Amino acid sequence: MYRGLVDGDKMSKFLRRFGYVRNIAKLQSNSKSSTNITEGLKTFQRYIGINATGTVDDLTWITMIKPRCGNKDIRIQRRKRFILQGSRWPSRGLSFRIIKYPTAFPRQFVEIELSKALRLWSDASSLTFEHRKKRDKFTDRETDIQISFEIGDHGDTEPFDGPGNVLGHAFFPQYGGDAHFDNDEYWTTKSLEGVNLFQVAAHEFGHSLGLEHSNDPEAIMAPCNNVYRRTRFGFDSDYPKNIRDLFGRWEGGVWQSIPDNLDTALSWSNDQTYFFKGMYYWKTIRFTLQPGYPRKISEGFIGLDESKFFTGNLDAAFVYSGDQKTYFISGALFWRLNENREFRGQIEHDYPQFVINWLRITNKITDALQWINGKTYFFSSNVYYRYDHVRQKVEDVNPPFPRLISDWWLNCNQTNSNHDSTFSDIPYITKLYTRPRRYVVESERNRCRKECVGLCFRIIPFLLLVSVMFH
């Protein structure tokens, strides 16, 4: 137990504010409330990587009262430096404007530090940022990220609390991307005193660009990562994959030896992408075709052969969100790989199994993918399903699944242009060009080219895979 004085009310407010305890006001008894707080405390302890006792020890309380970001910690996942929230900006060229400066920190230093923080992200991606300094009522409405230094309750239901504690917060792209900083903080630059504006801004802009908190204490997106570092502050070697998924830094070219009309494609987190047709596959690393291909599928993915009732022509190859293993679907059957490694991974002994017994989807699966929001989508002709891997069934939501690809992925139905936030991460792929031995995809928001819809129905998941890497 903590040897000092623990403020029980402050602890429960902390757990509620940062997402560890939900709907506590709706509980019917004190015993249920106490149980909810205990479980929330255990969840927080697991998040910071200490023994989940459900009681407050020194490290638990000290971490709770540290200055930190005001955004919720939300999801507990394996330790990752960057966790994708799901929504993204439709354009790579973003604008920002500082609409309210701090009262006790020179304006020129504010502009330098905030621009430097945004440059940290642009250097790691294909994004560019335009600083709009001149106030204009017309361009203000179109500015992507508005930045302000606020005091207390400033109109967004997340009030600041004076010096210390919450330093700032920012909204994900689907909610506007604005970033707010607490004006009451003692903002500094290159000093061990006060709060380092550059490091806090780099963190908050990560939220503005679509990243959630990380439970790695050394990551930029760690909730409490605001102590000034004399050494280089930035990304280390494990950042590229998730940032590239969200913002894109595509390096590659055109592959003259890969045929048209591929069956499906598979992408792993090590930048390796595999393209399948018939009984053969091709391998690329960062979209560079590797020598020695095509190979037989059974060579690289051991056991996916006739002895396991596979006769070629995969319908889907994807990493399933439920266990992060690779699955293959062909017709009514599916197979699971025991590890995501070429030449090492083998089809598990109790496969194949029937797709309908797993997914409870009666329609034939024509492709599948795990999207950047961590959810798995299954496609069948012109409709799709979103799968709940926790409950192991198609998600039960309104409007129900299956849904039309044309309405929810291509945005052809203009009446659905204002989707709720659940679907704000879905891209609108509207132009498709097929050329000999290559595909080119362009994305536009709220527009659709009707003439391409029929073709998109057939290969939309493959295009989405390519689209992730292009963007």
pLDDT score recorded for residue 441: 33
List, in order of start, the domains of the chain with CATH numbers. 8-65 (no CATH), 83-236 (3.40.390.10), 264-470 (2.110.10.10)
Tokens of 278: 């018939």
Residue 196: the pLDDT is 92
Task: Collect all residues with Cβ–Cβ distance below 8 Å to 74 and sequence separation of at least 6.
Answer: 19, 212, 213
Q: Which whole number is the average pLDDT over 12-24?
A: 77
pLDDT tens readout for residues 259-289: 778 899 999 988 899 999 999 999 988 778 8
Where do runs of H (alpha helix) occur along 397-450?
405-408
pLDDT at 304 over 70: yes
Q: What pLDDT is recorded for position 394?
A: 95
Region 371-388: mean pLDDT is: 91
Does this model's pTM top 0.75? no
Whole-number Å distance between alpha carbons of 98 and 155? 17
What whole-number distance in Å separates Cα of residue 9 and Cα of residue 13? 6
Rg (CA), the chain: 24
SS3 443: strand
- For residue 410, pLDDT beyond 80: no
pLDDT tier for residue 156 given thresholds of 50, 70 and 90? confident
Q: Say if residue 471 carries a ligand binding annotation.
A: no
The Cβ-side half-sphere exposure at 188, using a 13 Å CA radius, reads 11
Tens of pLDDT, residue by residue over 98-113, are 999 999 999 999 999 9
**Confidence band (pLDDT; 50, 70, 90) for 11?**
confident
Asked whether 176 and 421 are in contact (CB, 8 A), the reply is no
303 is in an annotated binding site: no
Section 115-130 average pLDDT: 86
Tokens, residue 257: 């030896």
Residue bearing the bigger pLDDT, 87 or 165: 165
The pLDDT value given to residue 357:
95
Given this model, what pLDDT does residue 167 score? 94
Give buried/exposed letters for 372-397 (b at 16+ CB in 10 A, else e): bbebbbbbbebbbbbbbeeeeebeee
Average pLDDT, the chain: 78
Q: In Å, how far are 64, 151, 167, 192 from 186, measured between CA atoms?
A: 20, 13, 10, 11
**Does the annotation flag 182 for ligand binding?**
yes
Distance CA 172, CA 176 (A): 7
Mean pLDDT of 16-26: 68
52 labelled ligand-binding = no
Q: Is the pLDDT of residue 291 over 90?
A: no
Q: Is pLDDT of 159 > 60?
A: yes
Quote the percentage of the chain above a pLDDT of 90.
41
Query: Measuring CA to CA, how many Å separate 421 from each of 11, 88, 287, 418, 426?
Result: 30, 11, 31, 9, 10
What is the Cα–Cα distance from 344 to 302, expressed in whole angstroms? Answer: 7
Would you say 203 is a known binding-site residue?
yes
Bridge partners, 435 (sequence order): 438
Higher model confidence: residue 453 or residue 107? 107
Query: What are the tokens at 120?
Result: 């940290």
pLDDT at 257: 66
Least confident of 88-97, 323-332, 451-460: 451-460
- Does 185 appear as a known binding residue? yes
Name residues whose C-beta falls within 8 Å of residue 428's C-beta, 6 or more positions apart in sequence: 90, 409, 410, 411, 443, 444, 445, 446, 447, 448
For residue 451, the model assigns a pLDDT of 32
pLDDT (0 to 100) of residue 2: 44
Please name which of 98, 140, 99 lies closest in space to residue 118, comparing C-alpha atoms: 98
More confident residue, 262 or 251: 262
Catalytic, out of 204, 218, 348, 444: 204
| Cα 153 to Cα 399: distance, rounded to the nearest angstrom | 36
More confident residue, 286 or 343: 343
Mean pLDDT: which of 10-14, 51-55, 109-113, 219-223 is highest? 109-113
Helix axis angle, 197-208 relative to 107-123, nearest 10°?
A: 50
Confidence of residue 400 (pLDDT cuts 50, 70, 90): very high
Q: Is 179 annotated as a binding residue?
A: no
The H or E element containing residue 353 is strand 353-354
Residue 162 annotated in ligand binding: yes
Residue 424's nearest CA partner among 67, 20, 90 is: 90
Give 150's strand partners.
182
Mean local confidence (pLDDT), 49-56: 86
Q: What are phi and psi of 319, to 5 degrees?
A: -95, 120
Helix (H, G, I), strand (E, B) or coil at 273: strand
Q: Is 444 a catalytic residue?
A: no
Q: Residue 244 has what pLDDT? A: 56
Phi, psi (5° rounding) for residue 257?
A: -105, 5
Tell me if 161 is assigned to a ligand binding site: yes
Phi first, then psi: what are they for 83, rounded to 5°? -115, 125
In single-letter form, the type of residue at position 299 comes to E
**Closest by Cα among 405, 408, 374 to 389:** 374
